[in-house]
Structure 1
């Protein structure tokens, strides 16, 4: 009986790629859920909008 005695060298490359994907996902999850260690800066947003009064044009022959 002939048995396959390969050590699975092809699977080592796949395991390396999957490990890299897991590390990248862990880094992305850290920045998404923990805020990446960055403290948000508080900003005072004070907006004052003054617009001129808009009137409809008068119709010809109207009052």
Structure 2
């Protein structure tokens, strides 16, 4: 499973970081989302799926 953030669509709301802080962060430069763990272990997937659902700009995706 691969996690991606489309930084051209990201608005920096931080919902992904709230849902899965071990997988996502926000850039200090522009505040946009950053994927820390592109291929997260199974135990982190519920948070990643929550991040996908929470993202207001629909820029977070999980390819299974």
Say whether the fold is shared (TM-score over 0.5).
no
TM-score by length of 1: 0.24
Q: More relative contact order in 1 or in 2 (CA 8 Å, sep 6+)? A: 2
Structure 1 or 2: more strand by fraction:
2
TM-score by length of 2: 0.24
